[in-house]
Amino acid sequence: MSVARTGALPNSYKFYTIAVNRFENRRLEGLVFHESREDAVVFKSLTQMACVLNRMFDENHYPMKSVDQRCFRRKQSEEGGEETAFTTAEVSGTHCGELATFRLHVKYRYHATWQGSITHRETGTVYPFESVMQLMRIFNRVLGQPLEAPGPLGKKMCELAVCNYQGSTFAGEVSHPAVKDRFFFENEFQLLDHLELMLGERPADVQDDSVITPRQGSVCRGTIGPMTFLVRVLFRRNNTWQGTVCWKEKGEQASFRSFLELLIMVDSAVRRADFQKESGPAGEVTA
């Protein structure tokens, strides 16, 4: 069990340094530093960073979690005791990212998400947040160009198909039978954009299409077998989402209490599944 050492500053064990090295195509990569460790922990996606930090919070006993993490096949997961090892790196000199450096203080872990503040060290600006969804928007604002969101489509449910998993990042598409276009994502930030577009509340004066639109297009089979999740958002409380997610191929359904929990549930399901690699050209899919 890791025990945080006493730092030079009061309560310094409560703070983590996030050194961001890349944000290309909004894929978050970098290092996590904490005074309880001699080395840095590497992350190659926002979900992996969140998993790393959750484990470090547990090891350092701050902040204490208020609920246990939900997942698919919980009994099998508990029996197997599967836990991904940290990837570490020896770093000399100052703990600064190539792109940006942040000082993270997570004060609470209520509602299966995080509450606290993050400081952009280059500018000294402090950003409070009440969920990881808000934290993602802060990263997007500081590291990239915030996108203008199109009008939401107001769907009650959408389909999340995972086609690829590489470098701790899952990628795929978001779709709905009544929407002609498929929305492809390569990271969690793009996924959030597409889910907000699909599931956001539609203005009252806009009418939905009354006919299901036939869709046909070329879809890359990717590197893994089919993994399809039906996502339904039921509530929007605590600056995040609550709803249900159904894993179609396994016939399993679970509830999520935050967007962070949804990400971790899908990520853990993808990592644990027995992937069947497919080779060959992309196939024509009609829905």
Question: How far apart are the C-alpha atoms of 262 and 72, rounded to whole Å?
Answer: 11
The predicted pLDDT at position 166 comes to: 83
Give the sheet arrangement for strand 88-89, strand by strand. Answer: 88-89, 40-43, 29-33, 15-22, 100-108, 115-120, 125-129
Taking only the tens place, the pLDDT of each residue in 169-185 is 899 999 999 998 899 99
Tell me which residue of 162, 180, 184 sits closest to 248, measured CA to CA: 162
d(CA 29, CA 46): 8
User: In this structure, how many other beta carbons lie within 10 angstroms of the beta carbon of residue 225?
Assistant: 15
Which pTM value belongs to this model?
A: 0.85
d(CA 23, CA 188): 12
3-state secondary structure of 221: coil
Contact 194, 161 (CB under 8 A): no
- Residue 223, amino acid: T
Alpha helices, H only, the chain: 46-60, 74-80, 132-143, 188-199, 259-272
**Calpha distance 143→141 (Å, rounded):** 6
Return the SS3 of 189: helix
Q: For the CA atoms of the chain, what is the radius of gyration?
A: 20
State the chain's mean pLDDT as an integer.
Answer: 84
Of 235, 247, 249, 162, which is closest to residue 199 (Cα–Cα)?
235
End-to-end C-alpha distance for the chain, whole angstroms? 51
174 near 188, Cβ under 8 Å? Answer: no
In this prediction, residue 167 has a pLDDT band, given cuts at 50, 70 and 90, of: confident
CB 154 within 8 A of CB 201: yes
Greater confidence (74 vs 102) lies with 102
Mean pLDDT of 157-161: 96
Question: What number is the average pLDDT over the span 31-47?
Answer: 95
At residue 8, φ and ψ (nearest 5 deg) are: -70, -30
Q: Say if residue 136's pLDDT is above 70.
A: yes
For residue 130, what are the CA distances in angstroms to 115, 118, 135, 284? 4, 11, 8, 42
pLDDT (mean) for 8-25? 90
